A and B are shown apart, each in its own frame.
Chain A
């Protein structure tokens, strides 16, 4: 291997360090009009009238667009249940009712405030547990509030609990999480001949194109999506937020239009990670065998469907973590509410499920007196084990090796530090494991397409052009795909040209999500490169387009969970050290070991970058990022009240441990890694806090106040806290 496995520098870094990389808001030109959105500002109301006369008459205003201007006023990734501009009802406070187009951004915003909308407020439902009940106010008149109830039924949990030696029960809650991609939503749109062009940031060129074309009743080929430099995504750009709004303005007015959201608009206007209410009951035998797991997960889907159903199905299969358990009963439920919509966010339902499952496993280990490590050693998945869906795990089940490496690294590098008896700072160490699918699940059509064309001279091929519609959201995928092409063709990186950011120039490789693009896009590029070489050797055109399709998955049976959920998994184990101030509850993560089977590290530096960056987000998810919504209103729409981890909150001592058990389908064996560190992290922090203080925190984020309350509760409990045996 020449290129794969090395860490060449990123080709996009030069522009990014010199300030010349152009993000969507940097594309605004003086000749453009500017659009601003009118937000509902209330969680549930009927629109009586929209009076735009004053706004239309305001200085510099060119148009005020409303629902009547949208040919097909519905969109959505899975289900088109969201209006681009609300016509009859607003269902969350970030819903949009109008777009104002004016000569400057300031004039557009000013005029947006002059659009008078008369509302009749409707009863709201802001808690999914309430939304489930008969008689709860309906979020969508034409459909029930329960968006999905996925059941998994394996064996007989009641009988198993009756024979278990230890049964542990607990309840958990998890909060919303804001993606906080650093570049707020922005874009420009214009006509290029008879094609409508949108230059913006996203995660899937061709899906953005499909949805936008449908809204304007245009054939897909007449809509072109181009991605500028993208300032982060993390699942947050999977749903369309701003792009169709600016597209509407340009489509209608036939002039170039720019739209730039500020941070507050971005936070209220795009979806979040789902908050959950979880109850769990797990039982084990004295010998350490976990015999039964019963879990109910109720999630807040917010006002629109987004990817809620898929997220919840993932939670359903990960409700037992990476453990082989004979008797399983899972109910995963997601409801519409009048809160901000929930959707994709790095981890996609796995972090919430693991927070509960991994805590339950540790508590069982403690209750049995065998400790957190031993119970895992006994119950972790093995090659050939069945999942709770009745289907065997895809080949390459490496969680035992990953966990073993994590423990070995902990022995060597995470020694217990001496602790002064009178200090209010208590240190503790926690461990947790994780499993997360790579790629789409549950029968969702999965494919990636790439085209490779060789430049051939008298001495043979000397260069290649790779076309693959894969979004570079910061994760480094353009370099990864280029390395794969170079390796396959035996070229230097400089001999490979990438065309990736234009839906009319690059074929559909699917979204950058589900940690899938290295495996899927990489495999398509590799196969296309090999096919182009074959064609050249056979004397045909030295060019090939290949669509790669991985092994098939199927939908799950709603009542039993039977099915083939996934074709590939990534496996993770972590050890986390924390320091808790028992007087204030303030908790700091001080050291992290994060072990991952990535199949094959195409670029070690980039893999480490994914692990380190993901851990920073996981620190926020576990400890600092407290997204507050009250009665449908977002109380934390700014960085000053939604606290992102800074360099003082994220430990420098992050030890990335990379294992390489080849995936049978991945290019050079590669799987994916981007989401994995977020999966077990919060549970590992909770276990570390328990180790430090004897208190279990069961609510995310584990704010100082919650940690302190848990410490109080543990102290006042009659029984002395169990000692956590992690060795």
Chain B
């Protein structure tokens, strides 16, 4: 609700009114996702690890020690200390999603996460998304669908999108939209990005299903 105070009063009253009407009709839950998209998958719980100023964390499967990062954001620690520049800074205030990485199984905006939170934890960045032999199906789908233009949003888009596919491989268009609603793309208009997510979803589901053997 942005605008003058008079507008905000009126718009809030209107919104409230329609909410009350919906409650009165018993239709307030209509249109709400039954299972909201969380962008997290369960990670093995980790015992607390004593912190003495050096951040020890697993990044893309390798144990890393970050000596000069205790006062930094996770994004700056990854970029400046770990030398991983795949995650991008677009806003540094949690508005664009270009810095999205996984921390302990959850997609996070690393510009908002203090680096010490990764101590004893596990970080996956765009550099760790592909396996050693092939691209993640979502990476391949982005290429095939021409979902990449300038590419600056793409590392964040992929980390959010791939997390959704971990969470629910058989995702819907609505779920795909919600999953990347925190990621700004200034170039593509999102359509080809969403198409890529649905394509990748199909590829992942197909791969998971045992092949039917015809007699």
**B89 to A25, Cβ gap below 8 A?**
yes
The answer, yes or no, to whether A144 is at the interface (CB within 8 Å) is no
In the complex where A263-B91, A584-B14, A704-B3 touch, is A12 in contact with B151 (Cβ < 8 A)?
yes
Interface membership of A76, Cβ < 8 A: no
CB distance from B102 to the nearest CB of A (A): 13
Tell me, rounded to whole Å, the shortest Cβ–Cβ distance linking B160 to chain A. Answer: 11
Mark interface residues in A598-639 (1 if CB within 8 Å of B CB, else 0). Answer: 000000011011011111110000000010000000000011
Q: How far is the CB of B145 from chain A (nearest CB, A)?
A: 8
Surface stretch bound by B, among A81-89, A147-155, A180-188, A321-329 = A180-188
**Chain A interface: which of B35-43, B163-171, B184-192?**
B184-192
Closest to A25 in B: B89
Q: How far is the CB of A634 from chain B (nearest CB, A)?
A: 15
Chain A 3-43 against B: per-residue CB contact (8 Å), 1 yes, 0 no? 00001011011111111111101100000000000000000
B18 interface residue per 8 A CB criterion: yes
Whether B150 contacts A644 by the Cβ 8 Å rule is no
Contact B18 A17 (CB under 8 A): no
Q: Which residues of B contact A640 (CB under 8 A)?
A: 91, 93, 95
Q: Is A445 an interface residue (CB 8 A)?
A: no
Residues A183 and B88 in contact, CB atoms below 8 Å apart = yes
11 A-B pairs in the complex with CB atoms less than 8 angstroms apart:
A13-B151, A17-B126, A18-B126, A18-B130, A22-B85, A181-B150, A263-B92, A424-B14, A583-B17, A612-B191, A644-B186
Having A184-B89, A476-B146, A639-B184, one finds 4 other A-B pairs with CB under 8 Å, namely A26-B85, A181-B152, A584-B10, A648-B178
Out of B4, B125, B149, B193, which one reaches A19, CB within 8 Å?
B125
CB contact between B184 and one of A12, A16, A182 (< 8 Å): that residue = A182
Range of interface residues on chain A?
35 or more
Which of A10, A179, A647 has a CB less than 8 Å from the CB of B181? A647
Q: Which residues of A contact B192 (CB under 8 A)?
A: 605, 608-609, 612
Distance (whole angstroms) from the CB of A104 to the closest CB of chain B:
9
- Summarize B's interface: helix, strand, loop or mixed: loop
Q: For residue A619, which residue of chain B has the nearest CB? A: B189
Minimal beta-carbon separation of A493 from chain B (angstroms): 14
Tell whether, in the assembled complex, residue A234 and residue B189 are in contact, meaning their CB atoms are under 8 Å apart: no
The 6 A-B pairs at the shortest CB distance, nearest first, are namely A19-B86, A474-B150, A16-B151, A612-B189, A231-B152, A19-B126
CB atoms of A703 and B2 under 8 A apart: yes
Most buried by B among A16, A18, A612, A643: A16
Q: Which chain A residues border B206 with CB–CB below 8 Å? A: none
> By the criterion CB–CB under 8 Å, are A21 and B151 in contact?
yes
Indicate which residue in A7, A13, A608, A652 contacts B148 across the interface (CB closer than 8 Å). Answer: A13
Partner of A18, one of B90, B139, B190: B139
Q: Is A475 an interface residue (CB 8 A)?
A: yes
Distance in angstroms from B195 CB to nearest chain A CB is 9
Q: If A17-B158, A19-B126 touch, does A644 touch B184 (CB 8 Å cutoff)?
A: yes
Least Cβ–Cβ distance between B1 and chain A, in angstroms: 8
Footprint of A on B, CB under 8 Å? 2-4, 7, 10-11, 14-15, 17-18, 79, 84-93, 95-96, 98, 125-127, 129-130, 135, 139, 142-144, 146, 148-155, 158, 173, 177-178, 180-194
Report yes or no: B189 in contact with A650, Cβ–Cβ below 8 A: yes
Q: Provide the residues of chain A in CB contact with B90, threshold 8 Å.
A: 182-184, 263, 639
A229 within 8 A of B: yes
- A609: chain B residues within 8 A (beta carbon): 146, 149, 187-189, 192
B residues in contact with A648, CB < 8 Å: 177-178, 181
Closest Cβ neighbor of B141 among chain A residues = A17
Contacts A26-B85, A639-B93; A616 near B152 (Cβ below 8 A):
no
Complex contacts, A22 vs chain B, CB 8 Å: 85
* A:473-495 near B, CB below 8 Å: 473-476
Contact of B189 among A18, A230, A615, A703 (CB under 8 A): A615
A26 surroundings in chain B (CB, below 8 A): 79, 85
User: Which residues of the partner chain A approach B139 to less than 8 Å between Cβ atoms?
Assistant: 17-18
Q: Which of A18, A21, A584, A616 contacts B15 (CB 8 A)?
A: A584
Q: Which of chain A's residues have a CB closer than 8 A to the CB of B92?
A: 262-263
A202 at interface, CB cutoff 8 A:
no
Asked if A654 lies at the interface with its beta carbon under 8 angstroms from chain B, I say: yes
**Contact between A639 and B187, CB atoms less than 8 A apart:** no
By the criterion CB–CB under 8 Å, are B153 and A704 in contact? no
Contacts of B158 in A (CB 8 A): 17
> Do A613 and B127 contact each other (CB < 8 Å), given the known contacts A19-B86, A182-B96?
no
